[in-house]
Amino acid sequence: MTTPPVCDYEGSDYQTSFWEQGGRQYEDRAEAIALKRLLPAGGRLLLELGAGAGRNTPRYQGYERIVLLDYSRTQLQQARARLGSSERYIYVAADIYKLPFIDGIFDGATMIRTLHHMAEAPKALAQVRRVLGPGATFILEYANKLNLKAILRYWLGRQSWSPFSLEPVEFAALNFDFHPKAIRGWLAELGFDVQKVLTVSHFRMGFLKRTLPAGLLAGLDGWFQPSGALFQLTPSVFVRSQLSGTGSGATGKMVDLFCCPECATHPLQDNGDHLACPGCGKKWALRDGIYDFRESIS
Ligand SMILES: C[S@@+](CC[C@H](N)C(=O)[O-])C[C@H]1O[C@@H](n2cnc3c(N)ncnc32)[C@H](O)[C@@H]1O
């Protein structure tokens, strides 16, 4: 199966250089406020897509178990160092375009700062839809091409691409901004009912971030976030949508919920240090507490 290219974070110091030393306290706090407003009170099994080093994971308190999925093994190692090994957290290295789970098992999913890297966003969203069950909640953050700065730059002739057209813009290799209407259309096609939209990072401007404390800016951001229900002109937008029905969120052993990412065979055979696929014969390693579905070991 051929899949779209992946923006590979293997070996990246993203968590430290971008978040901890990159002056992003304001954005981090503003996202925390948005997530608090969007997350349901509770749930059984949450899939965090593009979990990275687990920056947001502690914010998903209401869920009994959380699957942290990322393409980068080193990001997951950092997440594991932060969150530890317990029944509550399951670490999975895999490609979002080939999710190694059976259909409909999750009652929640989040995808924060990750759609941003999807060259074929509808394909990625279709995979998310496949593994969510009836009544599941999906919280999606996307980078908005229709943001105020892009509009002004376009009108002043400093930017060649139009923020008003529906197609995604790749402003750097494998980094995409999306039009809000395109996102709404893709979600609707997949049967998601959009319940709430919050605009985030209204004040992502160097001079404001240098002069005002991050907590104050984030608090102000929180005030403006609900305006996302009316219009979206910020660089980041959070959307909570839901599938119809009730009663999803699998319990039981996680290994029973995996399927082979190559041939979709289920169940996989648990051999301790690897899972074996009885369909295609591929073996998927479990190393240092991380299930690795990127490349088979045979
Ligand atoms: C910008 S980081 C965001 C990390 C985290 N969500 C956060 O907000 O701190 C994007 C993450 O998406 C992951 N990623 C990118 N493409 C992926 C893919 N095709 N499958 C799985 N993960 C992917 C990267 O490895 C990276 O950890």
Helix axes 25-38, 214-224, angle to 10 degrees: 40
Contacts 24+ apart (CB under 8 A), 259-262: 259/100, 259/101, 259/102, 260/100, 260/284, 261/94, 261/95, 261/98, 261/99, 261/100, 261/293, 262/1, 262/98, 262/296
State the distance from the centre of ligand 1 to the C-alpha of 18, rounded, in angstroms. 13
Tokens of 118: 């999807």
Specify the pairing of strand 106-111 against strand 132-143.
Answer: parallel
Cα-based torsion angle of the residue sequence 279, 284, 289, 294 in order, rounded to the nearest 10 degrees: -120
Q: Say what the pLDDT of residue 249 is.
A: 81
Q: Say what the pLDDT of residue 248 is.
A: 76
Ligand 1 pocket: which of 15, 117, 290 to mutate (most atoms within 8 A of CB): 117
Q: For ligand 1, what atom is nearest to the CA of residue 97?
A: 19
The distance of Cα 71 from the centroid of its chain, to the nearest Å, equals 12
Q: Say what the pLDDT of residue 252 is.
A: 85
User: Does 235 fall in a domain?
Assistant: yes
User: Does 150 fall in a domain?
Assistant: yes
Distance CA 5, CA 291 (A): 21
Q: Say what the pLDDT of residue 145 is.
A: 98
User: Does 271 fall in a domain?
Assistant: no
Task: Give the other-Cβ count within 10 Å of 253's Cβ.
Answer: 11
CATH code for the domain in which residue 58 is found: 3.40.50.150
Distance CA 204, CA 41 (A): 29
Q: Where are the beta strands (DSSP E) in 26-105?
A: 43-49, 63-70, 89-93
Ligand 1 pocket: which of 9, 59, 69, 174 to mutate (most atoms within 8 A of CB): 9
Q: Say what the pLDDT of residue 255 is.
A: 92
Cα 139 to Cα 44, 99, 179: the distances in Å are 15, 18, 17
Tokens of 160: 């060649």
- For residue 121, the enclosing domain spans 14-257
Q: Say what the pLDDT of residue 104 is.
A: 96
Q: Say what the pLDDT of residue 1 is.
A: 72
Tokens of 195: 């319940």
CB 209 within 8 A of CB 201: no
Q: Please name which of 35, 21, 33, 27 lies closest in space to residue 209, comparing C-alpha atoms.
A: 27
Tokens of 6: 């992946």
- Number of folded domains that form the chain: 1
User: Does 275 fall in a domain?
Assistant: no
Distance CA 61, CA 179 (A): 31
User: Does 288 fall in a domain?
Assistant: no
User: Does 245 fall in a domain?
Assistant: yes
Specify the pairing of strand 290-292 against strand 89-93.
Answer: parallel
Q: Say what the pLDDT of residue 209 is.
A: 94
User: Does 249 fall in a domain?
Assistant: yes
Ligand 1-lining residues (CB < 6 angstroms): 6-7, 9, 50-52, 55-56, 70-72, 75, 95-97, 112-114, 117
User: Does 158 fall in a domain?
Assistant: yes
Q: For ligand 1, what atom is nearest to the CA of residue 15?
A: 9
pLDDT along the chain (298 residues), means of 10: 92 92 94 98 97 98 97 97 94 98 97 98 98 97 98 97 98 97 98 98 94 97 98 98 89 92 97 97 97 94
Q: Say what the pLDDT of residue 164 is.
A: 98
**Triad 32, 34, 36: Cα angle to 5°:** 70
Q: Please name which of 166, 167, 171, 141 lies closest in space to residue 234, comparing C-alpha atoms.
A: 141
